[in-house]
Amino acid sequence: MGKNYREIILKQVDTKKQSFDDLRKAIGVKGEKEFASFSNALDELRNEGELYLDKDGYYHIFDSRLAIKQGQIYISKNGMGYMKIMESGKEKNYMIKNDDLNGALPKDIVIIRPLDKEFYGHKHAIVEEIIKRDTYLEAYRYVGNGVFVPYELPIQMQVIVNEPECDELVPDTIVLLEVSSNAKIIDKKQYFYGTIAKVIGHKDDPKIDERAISYKYGFDHKFSKEVMEDVNQIPTCVQEEEIKDRVDLRHKNIFTIDGKDTKDIDDAISIEKDGDNIILRVSIADVSHYLLKYPRLIEEAVNRGNSAYLADSVIPMLPHQLSNGICSLNPEVDRLAKTVEIVFDQDGNIISSDIYKSVIRSTKQMNYDDVNSILEDGIIPEGYETYTDDLILMNKLSSILTRKRTQKGSISLSDCELKIHTMPDGTPTNIKRNYQKQGEKLIENFMIMANIAVTEFYGYLGQPFVYRVHEHPNLVKLKKLILVIKKQNIIDVNIVNNLLSKIEKAIEKNGTIRSHDLGPIIVEAEKNDNLDAVSYLILRAMQKACYSNTNIGHFGLAETDYCHFTSPIRRAADLLDHIIIDLIMEMNYAQTAEEIEEIQDKLDMISKNSFDICQHISEREIAADKAEKEVNLIKTSKYLMEHLDIYEGPIEAKITNINKFGLSLLVNDSIKVKMDAEVLSSYGYHYMRDSRTYYRPKTNDTLNFGTKIYLLDPEVSNNLKLIKYNIPITEEEYERDYVNGKYKVKCLRRTHTINPK
């Protein structure tokens, strides 16, 4: 058995600092194998923050005796670095200014040296050393002579690439770089060395921003040659032999409801009456049927984790030949599916449910706009005449399910999504928020019921399963944020106090609250048009829903059993559960012990890797969310800057978030912009940390969540400026500020500064 060099090294350094050679000699390291193990142990201890290597080559125990700290750094969109470190059982926050990052990139392991300054609870620090680079890649812009600078990340950094490939690049080419942690000083400037991971294109290329962001987060538009070879072997239509042993639903009135531009259709629905009972069938594309024979396709889907939807384009999890072709439940063609059949009584209670393989033929591809015109306006579009009765019955069932979900405690913190339309070159042409109407709610309710039914059956068979879980919120953090809502007086005080009382009792008993307890405050926020602000605050205390191989329930939906089953074309989690169900079904029909053992071996292999797989696909989901948000910010900013002329006079905006850095604003109910704290300060507003408001003593005005303010476009500038808040502003005051001031507002990651004419 080999030596445990980690423990030996820590004991050796515990009392005094020692050099590499001092340690090697004291421990008695001999031979190449021992030397390698010893060196690796030193590196691991240093990366983990157990040891510190000073500039003189001496190792120290990393504890309170050292003035420096080590941890993982995060960098915000405005280029500020942050680090959280546990000290004496308490969380300590450090903030690193852009100029003090010294080449640190997001998620790097770095050593910081705290300074004496503090800023709203964050102690200032500087990055002293980069210990370990994260694998995270950023986009860089080529400036010439082998030198690159960050393209989107707003930090001061220069990278040298010594590769022949640079000779072929023109200035302003955008690339992904792998950057080393080693810096070199040339002419008193700090340079890092890097290698080109991928050439993305030129900064003036169409959709270059989307491409840079997609590659940065690991979403590639292209599939490998090997993957496409497998795809080309899959038939483009359903074969007769594939229908055998499936329930034939092609005679049913089955249809799909999606957005107008949807091409990867996962789900189809049908409904019928059986006396007083209602039979709902949710048919989901049987993607796993086609992929089980091709392990490379499954591996590709799991590696990608999910499709990424960026503005009005999609980077698919599966090649378009599958996602838009044989796997998509397109109208008027046979398709293989797994159908969840649920029988409800007239009160929406489940009488029975079943899950089986089927063959379907969707009779119509509907869209939400047309369906909503029937359900909300009573207007029947052409071609929907024969479907109206089914849609009305579906809407009746959906309304019952909505009521039952609300009574149970299911909460919804968002009722809309941002839809961005662009030209082929990526220029945004229209931006709007699509609010959830009856058609959208109908599909959401039916998919949730299908997911629950599948989990209740297949989640308790002692086999691997991928659950969709959501932990209870952090009550201490939730209490703090609910107090902010109380201080801002944007929700009825009785509702807020009632929730605070429940939270305090749960904290005292070391317990938790129910999702049902959050219902009243959310309903009230929706009534008074403050759902955006309240949702943001509550989400700050919420855990993020994720995938797990262990079922711990779903707090937000108030469900004990939940999975994602209904989108196997676009989510790896759903696909994996389809594969598990296929194997279990196959085992049920196995004829011999050998067949059963072979299938069980496959399930055991999935089980063995399920923890890592769930963690990976959860991370890919987060990556997709971040990529989508970054693209949305770019598109909405560009759209606003290019369409300011459509607004006459001051532009009304609603405050959706407030912090020490400034305001988040929603313009035209869809476009997000930010306003820096320095702009507010120039107008006499001070940040009030406890209530998270900005207060102006001169006029006794307070900026709260949900407050509507006015923005002005100074002529044709790329700039917005706060000019008034619920108070008249004189022409003289405006002219003075306009002529003498410098207007500055941060939109996106860039700050536009102009000198008024």
Measured from the Cβ of residue 433, the count of other Cβ atoms closer than 10 Å reads: 14
Helix (H, G, I), strand (E, B) or coil at 560: coil
The rounded distance, in Å, linking the Cα atoms of 604 and 93 is 43
pLDDT over 80 (residue 668): no
Beta-carbon-side half-sphere exposure of residue 635 (alpha carbons within 13 Å): 30
Question: Which tens digit of pLDDT belongs to each residue from 717-735?
Answer: 333 444 433 332 333 333 3
Name residue, tokens 């789900």: 267
Residue range 296-311: average pLDDT?
Answer: 95
pLDDT over 70 (residue 207): yes
Question: Which tens digit of pLDDT belongs to each residue from 687-711?
Answer: 998 888 998 888 888 888 888 877 6
Name residue, tokens 């420096």: 68
Q: 482: which residues sit within 8 A by CB, 6+ positions away?
A: 496, 499, 500, 503, 521, 537
The rounded distance, in Å, linking the Cα atoms of 367 and 434 is 13
Two structure tokens written together for 422 = 């662009």
Do 548 and 614 contact (CB within 8 A), yes or no? yes
pTM of the predicted model, to two decimals?
0.84
The least confident of 36-45, 328-337, 653-662, 726-735 is: 726-735
Do 339 and 249 contact (CB within 8 A), yes or no? yes
Do 418 and 428 contact (CB within 8 A), yes or no? no
The least confident of 88-102, 332-346, 400-414 is: 88-102
Measured from the Cβ of residue 88, the count of other Cβ atoms closer than 10 Å reads: 6
Bridge-based pairing state of the strands 189-202 and 159-160: parallel
Two structure tokens written together for 120 = 């709203």
The rounded distance, in Å, linking the Cα atoms of 658 and 664 is 6
pLDDT over 80 (residue 118): no
Higher confidence at residue 286 or residue 674?
286
State the burial class of residue 456 (Cβ atoms within 10 Å of its Cβ: 0-12, 13-18, 19+).
Answer: middle
Alpha-carbon distance values, 233 to 229, 265, 290, 321, 631 (Å):
7, 22, 10, 11, 35
Rounded mean pLDDT of the chain? 87
pLDDT for residue 60: 87
Two structure tokens written together for 341 = 């059949």
The rounded distance, in Å, linking the Cα atoms of 74 and 110 is 10
Do 105 and 133 contact (CB within 8 A), yes or no? yes
Question: Which tens digit of pLDDT belongs to each residue from 123-171?
Answer: 899 998 888 888 778 899 999 999 999 988 888 899 999 888 888 899 9
Higher confidence at residue 125 or residue 33?
125
Q: What is the 3-state secondary structure (H, E, C) of 500-525?
A: HHHHHHHHHCCCCCCHHHHHHHHHHH
Alpha-carbon dihedral angle through residues 220, 221, 223, 225, given to the nearest 10 degrees? -110
Question: Which tens digit of pLDDT belongs to each residue from 356-374?
Answer: 999 999 999 999 999 999 9
| pLDDT category of residue 745 using cuts at 50, 70 and 90 | very low
Two structure tokens written together for 44 = 């691991």
Alpha-carbon distance values, 281 to 103, 123, 366, 570, 709 (Å):
56, 57, 17, 21, 48
Residue range 590-612: average pLDDT?
Answer: 95
The rounded distance, in Å, linking the Cα atoms of 384 and 371 is 9
Do 177 and 209 contact (CB within 8 A), yes or no? no
Given strand 651-659, what is the order of strands in its sheet?
A: 671-676, 662-667, 651-659, 708-712, 721-724
The least confident of 94-98, 388-392, 503-507 is: 94-98
Question: Which tens digit of pLDDT belongs to each residue from 461-496?
Answer: 999 999 999 999 999 999 998 998 898 888 999 999
Do 122 and 93 contact (CB within 8 A), yes or no? yes
The rounded distance, in Å, linking the Cα atoms of 726 and 702 is 10
Q: Phi then psi for 578, rounded to 5 degrees?
A: -60, -45
Do 655 and 693 contact (CB within 8 A), yes or no? no
Helix (H, G, I), strand (E, B) or coil at 297: helix
Residue 539 DSSP label: H
pLDDT for residue 616: 96
Percent share of the chain, pLDDT over 90: 52
Two structure tokens written together for 338 = 């797994």
Do 96 and 71 contact (CB within 8 A), yes or no? no
pLDDT over 60 (residue 346): yes
